[in-house]
Structure 1
Amino acid sequence: MALRKFHIILFFLSGRIIVNSSVEQQTWKVMDAMNDIFTQKSVSYHLSNVACTECIYAAFRTKLMNEKSFSCHQENHTCLIYSACHVKNRLLTSEWEPSEGWKHFCTAVHTITFDGDPWINIGFLITRRTSIRLQIKATQDAYVGLASGNTTASSGYWNLLGSWSNTKSCLRDGFVYGSTCYSTSLGSRLSGAQFSNFWIKWQSSRIEVGLGEIFGHQTIMDYTLPNVYQINHLLIRNRYSPQCEWIIYL
C-alpha cells in the first residue's frame, strides 16, 4: 500500500503576544522546529512557568485557538501553541500523548480521508456533547457517524452528505449500506473547490443536520429515529471522490 501523507498547514503569527489573566504578563516566544505529535516540524509559541490550567486560559485569551492546538507540561510548567492541529488515520491512544506529563488540546482538527479507506475514528470522545460543527471539501459522499463505540460495528446514526452523485443527503439508523433513509434532503451539498459548513445536533434519538455555522439555522434533515444510543465517538469516511478534506470543530 502506498504511503499517504497529510497536508501540513503552517500559520505564521506576527508580533509579540501578551497574556492578560491571572498569569502575570508574559511574552510568548517563537519555536521554529518543535517535534511533536501533530507535525514533524511545527511553528509554535512557547510560554514558561505556567500551570496547565493557566496554559488553557492563556491560550484562549490570546485567541490563538482557531485551528490551532496547544499542550502543557506539568513538570517544567511549559505551555506550547502549535500552528495547526492534525490527527492521523487510525489514531492510537498511545500516539495522542507522546510522553508522560504532556496534555494536548485542540479546538479544531484538520485531516484528509481517501476514497476506499475504512471509517476513521477521530479520536475524541464526544460523550458529553450534543452537537458538533464541521467543514467538508469533497465532490460527493462525505459520511459522518455518531457512534456508541469506536467502530461501525457499534450502534449509531449515519449521516450521508452529498450522496447519489451529490444530489441527496440521507440520515440512517445504523451503519448498513442500503438501509432506510429516515430523513432526506435533495440538492447539491458538497463542493470539491471550497469548504461547505455543516452542523449536527442530537438529543436522545432526535438528529438534526443543517448548513452554515449557526446551530438550528438552515436545517436540512430532522428526525427522531426509532432507537436511542449513547453517542461517544465521531467517525468519518468518504466514497467515490479521490479525497475529502475535513475541519472538525471541537
Structure 2
Amino acid sequence: MKKAIITLLLAALVLAAIPALATAQNTFTAADGTATGNAPTVQNTTYEGFGYVEVDFLQDVNYENPTVTVTDANGAAIAATIVQLDDDDMTFQISDYAADATYNYTVSGVRVGRSGEYTSVTGTFIVPLEGAAVIKKVEYDRDDRDVDIEFAALVQYEAPAVQIVTADGTTINATITDWDEDSIEARLDSALDIGTEYMVTVTGVRSAQDAEYGSASLTFTAYDD
C-alpha cells in the first residue's frame, strides 16, 4: 500500500513539473529568436547601369514579402522593382531616373539568418554620367590600412586620387599604392572603424575613352577582409 501511495505522489510531481518545463523551453526559444533578429548590414550598393542597382549584404539574409522604395534628393518617389534575391545580395531596377543624381532607397522584409523579426535597411546610390567610372565594391585590410577599390568596368586614369569621408564629414587621406585597368589600391593615413559606414571617392578616372575624366564614389561598410 505504501509503495502505491509513493508511486502516485511521484507521478503527481512529474505531471506538475511538465507545464513549468514547457514554459521554460518556450521562453528560451523566444529569447534566442529575438537575439538573432537584427537588421542586416549593407556592405556595398552599386549602380550597375540601365537602372539596375545591386545591394550586397555583409551577412546571409532571408526575405518575407520584400519591397523596395526609392526617392530622389527632393523626396520624390521613383518607381523601383526587385528583380533578383540571393542569400547575400539583391538587385532592383529603377525607371525615370536622371544621370549625375543621388538616390535613397529602403528595402523592407529582410532579416539576418532564419529567425527574428523582419525589418528594413536603407542606403544611397549615385547614377553617374554616361561614360563615368562606377565603383563596384571596396575591400579593407585592417592590418595594413589598405583599401582595394574595384570598378564595374575597365577604366582609365589621369592624375588619380583617393579620398575617404566619414559620416560626420571628416576626411581620411589616402596614398595610392597601385592601380590597373579595373581596380586601384590606396593606403590610409588612419584606420577605419569596423562596422562603420564610409564614402570613398576616386578622382581622375573614366570608363569610356571619349568621356571626360571625373570622379566615382561609393558608400560602403568597413570590415576586415
Structure ranking higher in helix proportion: 2
Indicate the structure (1 or 2) with the bigger Cα radius of gyration.
2
Structure ranking higher in strand proportion: 2
Q: TM-score, normalised by structure 1?
A: 0.27
